[in-house]
A and B are shown apart, each in its own frame.
Chain A
Amino acid sequence: MSNITSHDQSWRAWLMTDAPTSRRHARLANLYQGWLTLRGNSMAMFGLGILLALLLIALFAPLLSPHDPFTQSLSNRLQPLGSEGHLLGTDSLGRDILSRLIYGSRITLYIVALVALIAPVAGLLVGTVAGYAGGWTDTILMRITDIFLAFPRLVLALAFVAALGAGIENAVLAISLTAWPPYARIARAETLTIRSADYISAIRLQGAGALRIITKHIWPLCISSLIVRVTLDMAGIILAAAGLGFLGLGAQPPSPEWGAMISEGRRFILDHWWVATVPGLAIFTVSLAFNLLGDGLRDVLDPKDGSQ
């Protein structure tokens, strides 16, 4: 690689090459070309922009929020939009809605990140093992997957939260428990097509064990379709978390979770509409962003069933 950088080639040419010189070179070139395709999709870039903004807002929440999200001020309750010092008004306890919204982005990202870590990994594990092992292991694992798929998701999450107790971690667990089966299906399907490939036989002849084949040679190939699915699922995860929060089963008061904020504002909806409206718009914006980005990523990573 050093001889390449010593040549007077620009990074761009290096990334656009047809003849990669190393594995990392090939991977980077591939990523760069994917990025170029994604950049051409303005809707996907719009989604990505919103999500980056959300990330920054969550990171710098203490700097950005004009008030403390928990400080109550009963003399100042239910102030309308654009009132003095409260751009988005105040809620029934006089807390600044904008500040709560800003801090709520942290909770949203926290939930999304946790579910996005747990569910696909669990699905990947189950799916690849089932697909690679075949036989009884496959039958049993896929039966279990089918059982979880057969459950209506929200109702199952409700029942799980009922068993585990309300709270944000339990909501994450409940959503993950209902979200993993599709990933297992995808990972299994990918594994089945890879399993009989020549290069897998070659590695096996070299003496690689099942664990090594699955983790080093099958997982990397499943990742891209899983990423697409995760991004598209994010919106559903956010909506499910907000739904649980709305029902009082997710984040508990006084946490500024967006779904719980809608639930608080619901009582005043006819007279003080903005209290419930504003957090709903935030949820809508973020899940829309994930949907847009997911559509774009699907076109890049998984062109075979792209949205034509």
Chain B
Amino acid sequence: MAVSNTNAERRRAPLSSWVKQTFLTLGSVAVTMLGLLFVTFIIGRVMPIDPVLAIVGERASQSTYDAVYQQLGLDKPLLVQFLYYLWDVCRGDFGMSLLNARPVAEDIARVFPATMELATIGVFIGIVLGVPLGVVAAVNRGSWIDQIARVVALVGYSMPIFWLGLMGLLVFYGVLGWVGGPGRLDIFYEDIVPARTGMILLDSALAGEWSVFRNAFSHIVLPASLLGYYSLAYISRMTRSFMLEQLTAEYVTTARVKGLSERAVIWRHAFKNIRVQLITVIALSYANLLEGSVLTEIIFSWPGIGSYITTALLSADMNAVLGGTVVVGLIFICLNILSDLLYRVFDPRSK
């Protein structure tokens, strides 16, 4: 009995600190999310659009106006209004879209898979090409391949994404005709496969409609490569600097002195140690792609959340803009936490 007691106590000590750590993290996340909602709330309040007029129209009588004014809770103090807003958001209610009179939450659920499909393929391209490029550039520091990697990244940092997208469309769609044009599918292929996940490549593969799959692929390949290029620029740069740090470490010299092959030194020793840092970088660039796709989606008429927010913005559909902003912000925060957690799980030093 006594032994098991001390064992339990021994086990409890690190557990409680872990619990405390988790609570601290969750607490700061909660504060950040609260702040995000507060900012969007304030933006919604200073917007030069009268939400009541938008609902009742200009010809409504004063009594109708007042009724709706009260119904929306606009006569309450700002803090109470904020609490109402919080309560609504917690229930997943972002209000009605003024454009199509449908719940904003439903709209977002419909458009989000398109963005996710695009960003996922983009970040995949970024990882597959960016990580090896960064490693090779670090190993052959100063060589021509390092210079190429540098130029690739520099151009990626300096090029306006919407312009590159236009140029891509011009060359690969307009002149060469290698890829599909704007949109997710040619009109001929639309509404053939049922939307199960909302991601057309996945849906068409699940339905076994390979002609639809091919068409969808020809449409997604250009915007996805574009996003892939941008995450490649970032991932390869970070990989290179992480690798350089490892390659100058003493254990690498030791491994070489031991007579290990260069490949084993690089991939089994040095690369193994940067995997944890890379996870953070990849999560960050995924988050950036989810939001950075706004302009890409416009160029390629891609019906994702970026297009949704922008269209709503240009037609002064406030609920839709704020709903979209909140969702993107929350996902952004969640990906940051996720990378933080993964870091803790995979980094032996943090245990």
Q: Evaluate contact between B325 and A146: CB separation under 8 angstroms.
A: no
Name which of A144, A242, A292 has the most chain B CB atoms within 10 A of its CB.
A242
Name which of A151, A153, A155, A287 has the most chain B CB atoms within 10 A of its CB.
A155
Residues of B contacting A287 in the complex (Cβ-Cβ under 8 angstroms)? 157-160
Q: Which of A5-13, A24-32, A195-203, A269-277 contacts B (4 or more CB under 8 A)?
A: A269-277
- Interface flag for A280 (CB, 8 Å): yes
Select from chain B the residue with minimum beta-carbon distance to A277: B167
In the complex, how many angstroms separate the beta carbon of A232 from the nearest chain B beta carbon? 9
Residues of A contacting B160 in the complex (Cβ-Cβ under 8 angstroms)? 239, 242-243, 246, 259, 262, 280, 283-284, 287
Q: Evaluate contact between A152 and B35: CB separation under 8 angstroms.
A: no
Q: How large is the interface on A (under 10, 10 to 19, 20 to 34, 35 or more residues)?
A: 35 or more
Q: Which of B40-48, B96-104, B128-136, B194-202 contacts A (4 or more CB under 8 A)?
A: B40-48
Residue among B36, B241, B318, B328 making CB contact with A147, cutoff 8 Å: B36
- Given known contacts A150-B329, A163-B46, A308-B241, A249 and B313 CB-to-CB distance under 8 angstroms: yes
- Given known contacts A150-B333, A159-B325, A242-B160, A143 and B31 CB-to-CB distance under 8 angstroms: yes
In the complex, how many angstroms separate the beta carbon of A159 from the nearest chain B beta carbon? 5
| Binary CB contact string for chain A from 288 to 308 against chain B (1 if under 8 A, 0 otherwise) | 101110000000000000011
Residue among A153, A262, A269, A291 making CB contact with B170, cutoff 8 Å: A269
- Interface flag for A248 (CB, 8 Å): yes
- Given known contacts A150-B332, A162-B313, A287-B158, A273 and B291 CB-to-CB distance under 8 angstroms: no
Q: Evaluate contact between A262 and B163: CB separation under 8 angstroms.
A: yes
A→B interface (CB under 8 Å): 143-144, 146-148, 150-156, 158-165, 235, 239, 242-243, 246-249, 259, 262, 266, 269-270, 273, 276-277, 280, 283-284, 287-288, 290-292, 307-308
Name which of A158, A284, A307 has the most chain B CB atoms within 10 A of its CB.
A158
- Tally of B interface residues using CB under 8 Å: 53
Residues of B contacting A159 in the complex (Cβ-Cβ under 8 angstroms)? 40, 43, 321-322, 325
- Interface flag for B295 (CB, 8 Å): yes
Complex: how many Å from CA A152 to CA B295? 13
Residue among B159, B287, B294 making CB contact with A284, cutoff 8 Å: B159
Q: Evaluate contact between B35 and A143: CB separation under 8 angstroms.
A: yes
Q: Evaluate contact between B162 and A262: CB separation under 8 angstroms.
A: yes
In the complex, how many angstroms separate the beta carbon of B294 from the nearest chain A beta carbon? 6
26 contacts between A and B (CB under 8 A): A147-B31, A147-B35, A150-B36, A150-B329, A152-B291, A154-B294, A155-B309, A155-B324, A155-B328, A162-B313, A163-B48, A165-B48, A239-B158, A247-B314, A248-B314, A262-B163, A266-B299, A269-B174, A270-B174, A280-B164, A283-B163, A284-B158, A284-B159, A284-B160, A287-B158, A291-B154
Complex: how many Å from CA A242 to CA B174? 24
Residues of B contacting A152 in the complex (Cβ-Cβ under 8 angstroms)? 287-288, 290-292, 328-329, 332
Residues of B contacting A154 in the complex (Cβ-Cβ under 8 angstroms)? 291-292, 294-295
Shortest 5 CB-CB distances between A and B: which pairs? A147-B35, A152-B291, A280-B163, A288-B158, A287-B158
Complex: how many Å from CA A143 to CA B27? 12
- Given known contacts A158-B310, A162-B43, A283-B160, A144 and B298 CB-to-CB distance under 8 angstroms: no
Q: Evaluate contact between A151 and B332: CB separation under 8 angstroms.
A: yes
Q: A155-B291, A155-B309, A163-B46 are in contact. List 4 more A-B contacts (CB 8 A).
A: A150-B36, A163-B44, A273-B170, A287-B160
Q: Evaluate contact between A156 and B170: CB separation under 8 angstroms.
A: no
Residues of B contacting A270 in the complex (Cβ-Cβ under 8 angstroms)? 170, 174
Q: Evaluate contact between A235 and B157: CB separation under 8 angstroms.
A: yes
Select from chain A the residue with minimum beta-carbon distance to B241: A308
Q: Evaluate contact between A158 and B158: CB separation under 8 angstroms.
A: no
Within 8 A of A (CB), among B292-347: 292, 294-295, 298-299, 309-310, 313-314, 316, 318, 321-322, 324-325, 328-329, 332-333, 336
Residue among A148, A153, A266, A290 making CB contact with B166, cutoff 8 Å: A266
- Interface flag for B32 (CB, 8 Å): yes
Residues of B contacting A146 in the complex (Cβ-Cβ under 8 angstroms)? 28, 32, 35
Complex: how many Å from CA A164 to CA B160? 24
In the complex, how many angstroms separate the beta carbon of B279 from the nearest chain A beta carbon? 19
Complex: how many Å from CA A273 to CA B170? 8
Q: Evaluate contact between B154 and A243: CB separation under 8 angstroms.
A: no
Residues of A contacting B28 in the complex (Cβ-Cβ under 8 angstroms)? 143, 146
Residues of A contacting B170 in the complex (Cβ-Cβ under 8 angstroms)? 269-270, 273, 277
Residues of B contacting A242 in the complex (Cβ-Cβ under 8 angstroms)? 160, 162
Q: Evaluate contact between A158 and B294: CB separation under 8 angstroms.
A: yes
